Amino acid sequence: MTDEGSASLEFIIAGLVLLVPIVYLVVVLFQIQAAVLAAEGGARQAARLFVEAPDARTGTERVSTAVEFALADQGIDDSRVDVTITCADGGPADCLDPGDLVTIIVRLDAALPLAPPVLGLDERTAVPIEASAVNAVSEFHVGEP
């Protein structure tokens, strides 16, 4: 009895069984890394822009724009992102006094590729990502009179 040609068939089957999960794992890791880079970059740039704003309303608009831009740069949908602006004095309206520390927190869910929307699996398999950045308002900051 001869086994001619079975080695190539075994190689193809074993290759698929091993290769497909490895490729999926690499794609998932790239998705998560892109979300982490977007969240960290967005938070860092948003903190920088907020502390340089002349007033809280302009600062909040700049934060929103910075986070949207960072997410778009990595190809991430910004519909499931949450941005929080805090400081020691309270909410964003009280954060632009000279010397205040402003904290920007960006939270988002990195959706896993090929997760089906059946029974909400696409939302349950999402990986939560959170990044924060702290920046101080300059001692020479001149805001609204």
- Write down the pLDDT at residue 132: 96
- Write down the pLDDT at residue 29: 94
* Adjacent-strand bridge partners of 103: 86, 134
- Write down the pLDDT at residue 133: 96
* Model confidence pLDDT, tens digit, residues 40-51: 999 999 999 999
Q: How is residue 80 annotated by DSSP?
A: G
- The list of the chain residues with pLDDT below 70 reads 1-5, 143-145
> Where do the structural domains in the chain lie, given as residue ranges?
7-137
- Write down the pLDDT at residue 2: 56
**What is the rounded average pLDDT for all residues in the chain?**
87
Contact 46, 104 (CB under 8 A): yes
The CA-atom distances, in angstroms, between 96 and each of 42, 87, 92 are 20, 9, 8
